[in-house]
């Protein structure tokens, strides 16, 4: 749980956690603990809690997250893991003093209460996504573009790379993959609408890197090349894309692609 990369960061809450890129946690602006030491299960549990604030889980559900498919005394392992996490987050806690964040009841339910003390980049991403969508619908193109670009700065780091093979986090990874694709798509459309050809071309190429079968991205590249007067670039991109669809997917070009090809043919 070490420091964050990039520009200097001003703490916004007592605790801050980054789930995009290497997982790290700060308290009062300083790294909390060491990601190379301590219980890996405690770090995994904290990630799960941060992604599900306020949601109650039975001890068996948390054990399934931490040790899927494993048998044995999981209740005792969970108790030890939670104790370790409490000590990491609040080393000043006295014996038997309750945690501010990790709560439980006599019925074996556990939940994480941020208590207004936590900032996470995952929540920041959710807020940025809402702000970008609202600005786009209101026609505030500069604000929407700025918000989508900030979103992509997070998405480019990848989400919880340490848990890539952990099935419990798969729904969260899938949601962020969809968010990444949507941010690129909307940013492409905004830049094209604003006449930002270079930025739009960059977005379209990034989309094709992620999904080489994206017709909207490929069409955008062709049309931008035409706008820039690069007929050769337009022809090459269109031929490559149509060939890819036929050879990889066995799909003939759509009516829209055929119409685009006719435009390119007339421009030659």
- Out of 35-44, 46-55, 162-171, 209-218, which region has the weakest mean confidence (pLDDT)? 35-44
Nearest to residue 76, comparing CAs of 92, 88, 59? 59
Q: Could you tell me the CA-to-CA distances from 139 to 84, 192, 194 in Å, in that order?
A: 49, 14, 11
Nearest to residue 102, comparing CAs of 52, 175, 144, 38? 52
Residue recorded with tokens 């498919």: 69
3 pLDDT band, cuts 50/70/90, is very low
pLDDT value of position 74:
83
Average pLDDT of every residue of the chain: 91
- Out of 30-34, 76-80, 128-132, 139-143, which region has the weakest mean confidence (pLDDT)? 30-34
Q: Which domains does the chain have, with CATH numbers?
A: 15-119 (1.10.10.10), 127-267 (1.25.40.10)
Of residues 89 and 94, more confidence is placed in 89
Average pLDDT over residues 55-79: 89
Of residues 61 and 9, more confidence is placed in 61
pLDDT at 132 over 50: yes
Q: What is the dihedral of CA 138, 140, 141, 142, to 10 degrees?
A: -150
The single-letter DSSP state of residue 33 is S
Strands 15-18 and 30-31: unpaired
pLDDT value of position 203:
97
Q: How many helices (H) and strands (E) does the chain have?
A: 10, 7
34 pLDDT band, cuts 50/70/90, is low
pLDDT value of position 5:
42
pLDDT value of position 73:
79
Phi and psi torsions of 195, nearest 5° = 80, 20
d(CA 170, CA 172): 5
Of residues 38 and 176, more confidence is placed in 176
pLDDT cut 90: percent of the chain above it: 79
Quick one: which H or E segment has residue 154?
helix 141-155
Average pLDDT over residues 15-33: 93
2 pLDDT band, cuts 50/70/90, is very low
- Out of 24-33, 67-76, 163-172, 181-190, which region has the weakest mean confidence (pLDDT)? 67-76
For helices 121-137 and 170-194, angle between their N-to-C axes, nearest 10 degrees: 30
pLDDT at 252 over 80: yes
The distance from CA 172 to its chain's CA centroid, rounded to whole angstroms, is 8
The pLDDT tens digits for 91-100 are 998 888 889 9
Strands 102-104 and 109-112: antiparallel
d(CA 145, CA 245): 31
């Amino acid at each position: 749980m070490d420091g964050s990369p990039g520009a200097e960061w001003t703490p916004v809450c007592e605790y801050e956690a980054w789930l995009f890129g290497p997982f790290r946690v700060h308290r009062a602006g300083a790294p909390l603990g060491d990601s190379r030491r301590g219980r890996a299960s405690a770090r995994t549990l904290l990630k799960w809690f941060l992604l599900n604030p306020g949601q109650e889980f039975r001890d068996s559900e948390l054990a399934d997250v931490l040790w899927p498919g494993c048998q044995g005394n999981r209740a005792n392992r969970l108790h030890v893991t939670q104790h370790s996490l409490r000590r990491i987050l609040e080393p000043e806690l006295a014996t038997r003093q309750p945690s501010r964040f990790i709560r439980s009841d006599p019925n074996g339910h556990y939940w994480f209460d941020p208590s207004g003390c936590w900032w996470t980049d995952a929540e920041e991403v959710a807020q940025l996504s809402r702000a970008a969508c609202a600005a786009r619908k209101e026609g505030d193109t500069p604000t929407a573009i700025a918000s989508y670009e900030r979103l992509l700065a997070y998405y480019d780091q990848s989400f919880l790379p340490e848990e890539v093979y952990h099935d419990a986090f798969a729904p969260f990874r899938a949601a962020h993959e969809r968010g990444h694709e949507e941010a690129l798509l909307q940013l492409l459309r905004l830049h094209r609408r604003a006449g930002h050809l270079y930025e739009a071309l960059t977005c379209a190429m990034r989309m094709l890197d992620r999904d080489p079968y994206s017709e909207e991205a490929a069409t955008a590249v062709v049309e931008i090349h035409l706008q820039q007067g690069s007929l050769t670039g337009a022809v090459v991109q269109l031929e490559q894309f149509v060939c890819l669809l036929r050879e990889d997917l066995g799909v003939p070009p759509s009516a829209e692609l055929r119409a685009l090809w006719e435009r390119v043919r007339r421009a030659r």
